[in-house]
Structure 1
């Protein structure tokens, strides 16, 4: 299964970065370029262990829906989410938060697999990995901006 990890040092306390990462409004703000909105599950505030949320967004000019489950919540160290329903054959995202100097080292580990066998593997290699990296970077730009506001 394709996978990648991204790390970013955010100059804010780990508790703040962790909480903002679970805030559905921050996620929606980070995906405005994709017209993302919540259409089911947790509609506001912080997600908790066992919560689900259904996102609706436009990628590659097509609207997609994805329902995610939040699990393994361990404040303020990390949490995971995975797709329950949506465009991927499999999608898992592990978020970890480590105090580092005067900030937080945020690490995102993504595992994903597109449907359609060989065709999906080609899409993953040529397009999807780069697209997902850009999405996570956009999300982390928003997290950093929101985490460092006075």
Structure 2
């Protein structure tokens, strides 16, 4: 199992950041455009809730589909876990903390690639791609919440 963490501060109150991140539409705003991410279906409309299931499609090296469920949601923390997709395991914890008049956004991901030994050889590549994606998410979040 691999772990990836990313954190940054945004100059917006925590309730505003929380509202942004718990609206499924945020994914299409903060995901790098070259991934062409589209929300195909969300079982609770736009608002995430514990138990929400989401189907996405986009380019993860090749066109991919992704099905996940929100397994935990309480104020300022939620967890999405992949049910089907490119990873054997994907558990993404989103946490938000007050930081002065702004908010600290924290992403912690536990993941394991598919494909056994081949997947192990691709872990370095996957880590670099995650770093690029989350750097973009930081910039896009800051811009969206100005």
Distance of aligned partners of 1:28 and 1:42 in 2 relative to their CA distance in 1, 3 Å threshold: farther
> In the TM superposition, what are the counterparts of 1:40-59 in structure 2 within 5 Å?
40-42=41-43, 44-59=45-60
Report Cα offsets for 1:62-117 as digits up to 9, x if no partner. Answer: 10001111121112x21110101111100010011110111001110011111111
Aligned to 2:3: 3
Aligned to 1:124: 123
Distance of aligned partners of 1:144 and 1:43 in 2 relative to their CA distance in 1, 3 Å threshold: farther
Aligned to 2:137: 139
Distance of aligned partners of 1:85 and 1:133 in 2 relative to their CA distance in 1, 3 Å threshold: same
Aligned to 1:81: 80
Aligned to 2:37: 36
Give me the CA root mean square deviation.
Answer: 1.5
Q: CA deviation at 1:42?
A: 4.1
Q: CA deviation at 1:43?
A: 7.8
Q: In 2, are the aligned partners of 1:72 and 1:80 still within 8 Å (CA)?
A: yes
Where does structure 2 lack aligned partners over 5 or more consecutive residues?
A: none
Where does structure 1 lack aligned partners over 5 or more consecutive residues?
A: none
Distance of aligned partners of 1:121 and 1:67 in 2 relative to their CA distance in 1, 3 Å threshold: same
Aligned to 1:95: 94
Q: For residues 46 and 141 of structure 1, what CA distance do their matches in structure 2 show?
A: 23
Aligned to 2:65: 65
Q: In 2, are the aligned partners of 1:95 and 1:109 still within 8 Å (CA)?
A: yes
Q: For residues 135 and 82 of structure 2, what CA distance do their matches in structure 1 show?
A: 19
Distance of aligned partners of 1:46 and 1:141 in 2 relative to their CA distance in 1, 3 Å threshold: farther
- TM-score, with structure 1 as normaliser: 0.89
